[in-house]
Structure 1
Protein backbone atom coordinates (compact mmCIF):
# COMPACT_ATOMS: atom_id res chain seq x y z
CA UNK A 1 0.00 0.00 0.00
CA UNK A 2 1.22 3.49 -0.82
CA UNK A 3 0.54 6.78 0.88
CA UNK A 4 1.85 10.32 0.59
CA UNK A 5 3.65 12.21 3.35
CA UNK A 6 1.42 15.16 4.31
CA UNK A 7 4.42 17.49 4.66
CA UNK A 8 6.81 16.79 1.76
CA UNK A 9 4.37 14.76 -0.39
CA UNK A 10 6.89 11.96 -0.88
CA UNK A 11 5.22 8.67 -1.87
CA UNK A 12 5.93 5.97 0.71
CA UNK A 13 5.36 2.28 0.18
CA UNK A 14 4.24 0.31 3.22
CA UNK A 15 6.70 -2.59 2.72
CA UNK A 16 9.56 -0.05 2.48
CA UNK A 17 8.60 1.48 5.81
CA UNK A 18 8.60 -1.86 7.63
CA UNK A 19 12.11 -2.70 6.43
CA UNK A 20 13.62 0.70 7.21
CA UNK A 21 11.93 1.26 10.56
CA UNK A 22 10.10 4.35 9.25
CA UNK A 23 6.74 2.92 10.31
CA UNK A 24 7.17 4.75 13.63
CA UNK A 25 6.82 8.06 11.74
CA UNK A 26 3.50 7.17 10.09
CA UNK A 27 1.86 9.04 8.36
CA UNK A 28 5.06 11.00 7.80
CA UNK A 29 8.08 9.76 5.85
CA UNK A 30 10.67 10.81 8.42
CA UNK A 31 11.33 12.29 11.82
CA UNK A 32 11.99 15.62 10.11
CA UNK A 33 8.51 15.78 8.57
CA UNK A 34 6.96 14.65 11.85
CA UNK A 35 8.71 17.52 13.69
CA UNK A 36 7.74 20.06 11.02
CA UNK A 37 4.10 19.08 11.55
CA UNK A 38 4.44 19.32 15.33
CA UNK A 39 5.99 22.78 14.96
CA UNK A 40 3.06 23.91 12.82
CA UNK A 41 0.62 22.85 15.55
CA UNK A 42 2.68 24.57 18.25
CA UNK A 43 2.91 27.78 16.19
CA UNK A 44 -0.90 27.70 15.71
CA UNK A 45 -0.59 27.36 11.93
CA UNK A 46 -3.26 24.63 12.13
CA UNK A 47 -6.62 25.23 13.74
CA UNK A 48 -9.50 22.97 14.70
CA UNK A 49 -12.69 24.85 13.97
CA UNK A 50 -15.88 23.93 15.78
CA UNK A 51 -19.34 25.31 16.26
CA UNK A 52 -19.89 27.48 19.33
CA UNK A 53 -21.11 25.45 22.26
CA UNK A 54 -24.49 25.95 23.85
CA UNK A 55 -22.93 26.30 27.30
CA UNK A 56 -24.24 29.25 29.28
CA UNK A 57 -22.03 32.32 29.31
CA UNK A 58 -20.91 34.15 32.46
CA UNK A 59 -23.66 36.74 31.93
CA UNK A 60 -26.33 34.00 31.90
CA UNK A 61 -25.09 32.46 35.15
CA UNK A 62 -25.09 35.84 36.95
CA UNK A 63 -28.86 36.20 36.34
CA UNK A 64 -29.70 33.04 38.29
Structure 2
Protein backbone atom coordinates (compact mmCIF):
# COMPACT_ATOMS: atom_id res chain seq x y z
CA UNK A 1 0.00 0.00 0.00
CA UNK A 2 1.39 3.38 -1.05
CA UNK A 3 1.48 6.00 1.67
CA UNK A 4 -0.91 8.89 0.86
CA UNK A 5 1.72 11.63 1.36
CA UNK A 6 4.12 10.10 -1.22
CA UNK A 7 3.10 10.46 -4.85
CA UNK A 8 4.00 7.92 -7.51
CA UNK A 9 6.77 10.04 -9.09
CA UNK A 10 8.64 10.44 -5.80
CA UNK A 11 8.33 6.71 -5.15
CA UNK A 12 9.66 5.95 -8.65
CA UNK A 13 12.59 8.35 -8.11
CA UNK A 14 13.48 6.72 -4.78
CA UNK A 15 13.29 3.27 -6.38
CA UNK A 16 15.59 4.33 -9.24
CA UNK A 17 18.10 5.81 -6.78
CA UNK A 18 18.17 2.57 -4.75
CA UNK A 19 18.59 0.46 -7.90
CA UNK A 20 21.41 2.71 -9.14
CA UNK A 21 23.19 2.53 -5.77
CA UNK A 22 22.93 -1.26 -5.80
CA UNK A 23 24.43 -1.49 -9.30
CA UNK A 24 27.17 1.02 -8.43
CA UNK A 25 28.08 -0.92 -5.28
CA UNK A 26 28.13 -4.17 -7.27
CA UNK A 27 30.51 -2.66 -9.85
CA UNK A 28 32.78 -1.26 -7.13
CA UNK A 29 32.87 -4.58 -5.28
CA UNK A 30 33.91 -6.37 -8.45
CA UNK A 31 37.61 -5.47 -8.53
CA UNK A 32 38.18 -7.25 -11.85
CA UNK A 33 35.83 -4.93 -13.76
CA UNK A 34 37.25 -1.93 -11.91
CA UNK A 35 40.84 -2.84 -12.83
CA UNK A 36 39.78 -3.29 -16.46
CA UNK A 37 38.23 0.19 -16.46
CA UNK A 38 41.36 1.78 -14.98
CA UNK A 39 43.57 -0.17 -17.40
CA UNK A 40 41.52 1.12 -20.34
CA UNK A 41 41.77 4.70 -19.07
CA UNK A 42 45.56 4.49 -18.59
CA UNK A 43 46.14 2.89 -22.00
CA UNK A 44 43.87 5.47 -23.63
CA UNK A 45 45.77 8.39 -22.11
CA UNK A 46 49.09 6.77 -23.08
CA UNK A 47 48.02 6.38 -26.72
CA UNK A 48 46.69 9.97 -26.73
CA UNK A 49 50.02 11.24 -25.35
CA UNK A 50 51.97 9.30 -28.02
CA UNK A 51 49.67 10.72 -30.70
CA UNK A 52 50.34 14.30 -29.51
CA UNK A 53 54.11 13.70 -29.48
CA UNK A 54 53.89 12.21 -32.98
CA UNK A 55 51.93 15.19 -34.30
CA UNK A 56 54.48 17.57 -32.78
CA UNK A 57 57.26 15.62 -34.55
CA UNK A 58 59.02 14.90 -31.26
CA UNK A 59 59.02 11.19 -31.94
CA UNK A 60 58.83 9.25 -35.18
CA UNK A 61 56.63 6.19 -35.33
CA UNK A 62 57.44 3.50 -37.85
CA UNK A 63 54.52 1.11 -38.01
CA UNK A 64 55.56 -2.27 -39.40
CA UNK A 65 52.72 -3.81 -41.36
Instruction: Decide: shared fold, TM above 0.5.
Output: no
Higher helix share: 2
Please say which structure displays the higher CA radius of gyration. 2
TM-score w.r.t. the length of structure 2 is 0.28
TM-score w.r.t. the length of structure 1 is 0.28
> Higher relative contact order by CA 8 Å / sep ≥ 6: 1 or 2?
1
